Structure formats: C-alpha cells, structure tokens
Amino acid sequence: MPPERTGKRGRPLSILDDVRFVGRACYGRVSENIRAKLQFVTMGIADHYEALQVTLINNTEGEIDHSVLRFKDVWGMLPTANPSFSQGVAPHIWTHNGKSEWYAAQPGPAECEALADDVDGYLELFSEDMEQDLGPRMQM
C-alpha cells in the first residue's frame, strides 16, 4: 500500500470518496448526502481552461454552493523557457485541433498538490466531520 499523501494541513488528501469520471467532469462523495462535481472551466475565452470549478450537490436539494479556483490565483505565473513569456505564462489548458494540453508551461507536482489542497480545504467545509465539529446549533 502506498504512503498516504498529506497536504499543508497535515491531513490526507483527498476527502472525496467513490470518485468517478463522467465525460469531462469528476464526481465524488463528500458525505452521505453531499456530492462534489469538479470540472475545468473557461473564463471567457473559448477553449482556454483557466480554472477548476468545484460544485457541491445535495442529493435531494440540488446545488448547495460552488467555487471557482483560478490556476493563476493558486500558482501565480508559471515559468517557461519560451523567450516570448519572459514574465512567465498564466496557466491554462487549451484545446487545439481536438487535443487538450497545458499551454507553454505545465504545472509540476508541487502545483498539483497546492491545487488539491485548496480543493480539499473547500470540500472540508461541507464534510460530515465538519458538521459534527460544529456541535449543536442555536435554535431561533
């Protein structure tokens, strides 16, 4: 069995269970009643996927919340050897001629870990463990 990956919070990554890929989306279970949908999204330019959108879905009530994690916000500009991008490149996946790939610079393991950690931090807000940690709520 491989060693467990831990994020900056010192906990195992990822809190998603029962992960499945359907089309261009990834789905997983956050808790008994909550599922997550993760998908790359454009931010206004066709075929330039600059962010990861995480949507929380309640089994009976539908969408609860969503967050858009822009790669540039998580990683900043990525360095590249291409002299046309002396300041680095804003990270994004582009689709050209039916093929999707990172444009000019590919994130490394540290960047992928940072993005996974941010996703887990967001999902953790909606996990059963978090609900139990909050304890009883005041009734109004």
Span 65-94, pLDDT tens digits: 999 999 999 999 999 999 999 999 999 999
Residue 32 lies in a domain: yes
pTM score of the predicted model:
0.81
Nearest Cα to 132, choosing from 22, 124, 140?
124
Query: Which structural domain, as residue segments, surrounds residue 70?
Result: 17-130
**Cβ-count burial 96-131 (b if 16+ within 10 Å, e if not):** eeeeeeebbbebeeebebbbebbbbebbeebbeeee
Handedness of CA 130, 15, 11, 52 (dihedral sign): negative
Low-confidence ranges of the chain (pLDDT < 70): 1-14, 128-140
| pLDDT of 127 | 80
Is 72 inside any structural domain?
A: yes
Q: Look at residue 71 and tell me if it is in a domain.
A: yes
**Residue 35 within a domain:** yes
- Please indicate, yes or no, if residue 3 is contained in any of the structural domains: no
pLDDT given for residue 128 in this prediction = 66
Cβ contact 123:23 at 8 Å: no
Split into its structural domains, the chain has a count of 1
Tell me, yes or no, whether 111 lies in a domain. Answer: yes
